[in-house]
Amino acid sequence: MDSDPFTLGIEEEYLLVDRESRDLVREAPPGFLASCERRVGSQVGPELMQSQVEAGTRVCGSIAEARDELRRLRRGIGEAAAEHGCAILAGSTHPFACFREQQHTARVRYQLLARDLQEVARRLVVGGMHVHLGIPDPERRIDLMGQASYILPHLLALSTSSPFWEGRETGLLSYRLAVWDELPRTGLPEPFVSHAEYTRHLELLVRTGLIEDASQIWWDIRPSARFPTLEMRITDVCTRVDDAICVAALFACWVRMLERLRRQNQSWRRYSAMLIGENRWLAQRYGTQRGMLDLGRRELVPFADLLDEVLLLVAPEAEQLACAAELRHARAILARGTSAEQQLRGYRAALARGVSPREALVGVVDWLREETLADC
Q: What is the DSSP string of 10-58?
A: EEEEEEEEETTT-SBPSSPPTTHHHHHHHHHTTSEEE-SBTTEEEEEPP
Q: Specify if 340 maps to a domain.
A: yes
Q: Specify if 335 maps to a domain.
A: yes
pLDDT at 122 (0 to 100): 86
User: Do the Cβ atoms of 92 and 126 come closer than 8 Å?
Assistant: yes
* Three-state DSSP state, 165: strand
pLDDT at 1 (0 to 100): 45
Residue 221, domain extent:
8-372
pLDDT at 319 (0 to 100): 96
Of the candidates 6, 12, 7, 4, the residue with the CA atom closest to the CA atom of residue 40: 12
* pLDDT tens for each residue of 253-284: 999 999 999 989 888 888 899 999 999 999 99
Q: Specify if 3 maps to a domain.
A: no
User: Do the Cβ atoms of 243 and 339 come closer than 8 Å?
Assistant: yes
Per-residue pLDDT of the chain (376 residues; tens, 9 = 90+): 455 789 999 999 999 999 999 999 999 999 999 999 999 999 999 888 899 999 999 999 999 999 999 999 999 999 999 999 999 999 999 999 999 898 877 777 777 777 888 888 888 899 999 999 999 999 999 999 999 999 999 999 999 999 999 999 999 999 999 999 999 999 999 889 999 999 999 999 999 999 999 999 999 999 998 999 999 999 999 999 999 999 999 999 999 999 999 989 888 888 899 999 999 999 999 999 999 999 988 999 999 999 999 999 999 999 999 999 999 999 999 999 999 999 999 999 999 999 999 999 999 999 999 999 999 8
The one-letter amino acid code at 135 reads: I
pTM over the 0.85 mark: yes
Tally the domains of the chain: 1
Q: Specify if 1 maps to a domain.
A: no
pLDDT at 3 (0 to 100): 57
Q: Specify if 14 maps to a domain.
A: yes
How many Cβ atoms sit within 10 Å of the Cβ of residue 99? 19
pLDDT at 62 (0 to 100): 97
Q: Specify if 200 maps to a domain.
A: yes
Query: How far is residue 17's CA from residue 355's CA, in Å, rounded to a whole number?
Result: 22
Q: Specify if 131 maps to a domain.
A: yes
pLDDT at 115 (0 to 100): 81
The one-letter amino acid code at 305 reads: D
Q: Specify if 318 maps to a domain.
A: yes
Q: How far is residue 374 from each of residues 58, 115, 261, 366, 369, measured CA to CA in Å?
A: 22, 39, 38, 12, 9
Question: Residue 289 is part of a domain; what is its CATH number?
Answer: 3.30.590.20
